[in-house]
């Protein structure tokens, strides 16, 4: 057996009130050419039919493990999944996103060839709630630039991230404080930046369900995570960079901010998964 095929990958998926999308997310993992995976989905106290959908999916897929907890936030759900993960590599995938065909195989191959990389992301495609494809996003790839630019932009799109288990063990995982409810990933990337090696693939690895624009609440949480990182690093001169998410929301609402043009995508969008409710 190829050495790369020997690694068990744990796909971590937190979910809250996403009955309309979680089945599609799970099905996108089931379609992966790379077969040695487990997916651990933690229902964070959903109030809709999410738990029912998860049970339906679990009956059809033995590699899927489901868990239910009282509502405590995505960080707590992610950590609960991490505590039960058996893989040497951890792949993150949010419940309203979809894995592309190389979501698992491409990072596994790259990390086997580059053992110095601890956290690896990639490009992604974006689509609307109705299933209209908007285009792709190509990230910065090298560690030095990613860390340098962290104050201006998030280094990873979370649903493309694959990391070695030790990264989560040695950083302590996601911050469960209520102050990081929507920015637990940003906080984690900052905490690990100078201890672990980061990278991105240019190839797209996941489909992201795009909202019209970042909400004010999300922007405030993002600013808070950056401000905390700024204080830890003793870099007060980066104050305005920490406020960029908030300024972007204000500029967008005033019609003064527009997104960069999308890149073309070679992968066909799995339109049959949109609205998928049952396995």
pLDDT for res 226: 85
- Which residues, other chains included, contact 148 with Cβ-Cβ below 8 Å and sequence gap of 6+? none
Domain spans of the chain, in order of start = 3-210, 214-258
Residue 248 has what DSSP assignment? H
Residue 99 has what DSSP assignment? E
pTM of the model: 0.91
| Distance from C-alpha of 223 to C-alpha of 205, rounded to nearest angstrom | 27
- Which residues, other chains included, contact 67 with Cβ-Cβ below 8 Å and sequence gap of 6+? 40, 41, 42, 43, 80, 81, 84
pLDDT for res 219: 77
Asked if 63 and 39 touch (Cβ cutoff 8 Å), the reply is: yes
In tens, the pLDDT along 233-247 reads 888 888 877 787 777
Per CATH, which fold does 3-210 belong to?
Spore Coat Polysaccharide Biosynthesis Protein SpsA; Chain A (3.90.550)
Q: Return averaged pLDDT per consecutive 10 residues of the chain, 279 residues in all.
A: 71 97 97 97 98 97 98 97 98 97 98 98 93 92 94 92 98 92 91 96 95 70 84 83 77 68 91 69
Place of tokens 């990230």: 139
Taken in order 111, 115, 117, 118, the sign of the CA dihedral is positive
Q: Which regions of the chain does DSSP assign to beta strands (E)?
A: 9-15, 37-44, 64-69, 89-92, 98-99, 119-127, 133-137, 162-164, 198-209
Of 211, 8, 189, which Cα lies nearest the Cα of 97? 211
Please, what is the end-to-end C-alpha distance for the chain in angstroms?
Answer: 30
């Amino acid at each position: 057996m190829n050495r790369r095929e020997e690694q068990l990958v744990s796909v971590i998926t937190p979910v809250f009130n996403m009955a309309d999308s979680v089945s599609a997310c799970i099905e996108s993992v089931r379609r992966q050419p790379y077969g040695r995976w487990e997916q651990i989905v933690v229902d964070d106290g959903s109030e809709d039919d999410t738990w029912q959908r998860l049970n339906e999916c679990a009956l059809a897929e033995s590699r899927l493990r489901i868990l239910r907890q009282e509502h405590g936030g995505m960080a707590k759900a992610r950590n609960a999944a991490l505590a039960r993960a058996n893989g040497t590599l951890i792949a993150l995938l949010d419940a309203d996103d979809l894995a592309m065909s190389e979501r698992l195989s491409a990072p596994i191959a790259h990390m086997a060839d580059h053992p110095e990389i601890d956290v690896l992301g990639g490009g992604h495609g974006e689509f609307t709630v109705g299933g209209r494809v908007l285009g792709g996003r190509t990230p910065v790839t090298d560690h030095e630039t990613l860390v340098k630019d962290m104050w201006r932009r998030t280094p990873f799109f979370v649903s493309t991230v694959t990391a070695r288990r030790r990264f989560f063990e040695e950083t302590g995982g996601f911050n469960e404080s209520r102050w990081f409810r929507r920015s637990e990933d940003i906080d984690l990337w900052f905490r690990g930046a100078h201890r672990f090696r980061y990278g991105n693939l240019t190839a797209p690895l996941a489909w992201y369900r795009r909202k019209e624009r970042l909400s004010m609440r999300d922007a405030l949480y993002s600013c808070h995570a950056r401000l905390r990182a700024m204080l830890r690093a003793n870099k007060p001169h980066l104050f305005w960079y920490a406020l960029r998410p908030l300024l972007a929301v204000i500029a967008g609402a005033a019609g003064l901010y527009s997104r960069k043009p999308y890149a073309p995508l070679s992968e066909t969008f799995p339109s049959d998964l949109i609205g998928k409710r049952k396995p």
